[in-house]
Amino acid sequence: MSVIITSSLCFSLTLLLPTMTQPLSLGLCIMIYSVTASILLGIMVASWYSYVLFLVYVGGLLVMFAYVSALAPNNFFSSLNSIFGFLVSFIMILLTLLFLHTPDSSSLIWLDQLSLSKKTLSSGEMLINPSEASVVIFLGVILLINLLAVVKVCYYQQGPLRSHFELK
């Protein structure tokens, strides 16, 4: 039942994305979408995979929020129509999924296979193999070198990204 509710929430948020006009409301919508998608993956696949996906989404959203807050003008949030559309689409998708859900024997077999794969994924065996540890360390070193290169390239004296501010 929780899978049906979470998946209908994900579908409704997907339908809500094109109606957002302000960048901050779009970022909030994507943030809520990432939380629900991570919850859905945590229920169905493995919790560590959903944690990693959520952290990647939040990291990208923090970068996007920094750019938007630096460049976008301050707009008022007035999208009552999109919230009403979200609620209507959520209820319609939820009712459709509830009416289409039939607990028959084929779905029970699918749930048994899903729980079996969930046990193997959550045990941590597939997270990292000892033979692939050198690849993970190499990727960490590459990310550290890229971080140092980006910090070296950035100019602190240039000021903010908005052009109407001047440094004194």
Higher-scoring residue by pLDDT: 148, 109: 148
Higher-scoring residue by pLDDT: 37, 130: 37
| Mean pLDDT for all residues in the chain | 71
Q: How confident is the model at residue 105 (pLDDT cuts 50, 70, 90)?
A: very low
Please state the rounded mean pLDDT for residues 125-140: 73
pLDDT at 9 over 60: yes
Backbone angles phi, psi at 24, to 5 degrees: -70, -35
Please report whether residue 167 resides in a domain.
Answer: no
Q: CA distances (Å), 25 to each of 13, 44, 85, 144, 164, in order?
A: 12, 28, 15, 33, 24
Percent helix, strand, coil in the chain, to 5, is 80, 0, 20
Tell if the pTM clears 0.75, that is, is over it. Answer: no
CA distance 38 to 46: 10
Please report whether residue 111 resides in a domain.
Answer: yes
CA distance 126 to 80: 45
Please report whether residue 84 resides in a domain.
Answer: yes
- Low-confidence winner among 27-36, 68-77, 134-143 (lowest mean pLDDT): 68-77
The predicted-structure confidence for 140-164, as pLDDT tens digits, reads as follows 888 888 888 877 776 666 655 555 5
pLDDT at 35 over 60: yes
Biggest CA pair distance of the chain: 73
The top-scoring range by mean pLDDT among 24-33, 79-88, 138-147 is 138-147
Higher-scoring residue by pLDDT: 129, 146: 146
CA distance 116 to 44: 11
- Token representation of residue 132: 């692939």
Please report whether residue 12 resides in a domain.
Answer: yes
- Token representation of residue 68: 């938007």
CA distance 25 to 75: 10
Please report whether residue 54 resides in a domain.
Answer: yes
Q: Any idea what DSSP says for residue 72?
A: S
Please report whether residue 151 resides in a domain.
Answer: no
Please report whether residue 32 resides in a domain.
Answer: yes
Residue-level pLDDT at 90: 72
Instruction: Report the chain's C-alpha Rg in angstroms.
Output: 22
Residue-level pLDDT at 61: 83
Domain that holds residue 84: 2-128
Tally of domains in the chain: 1
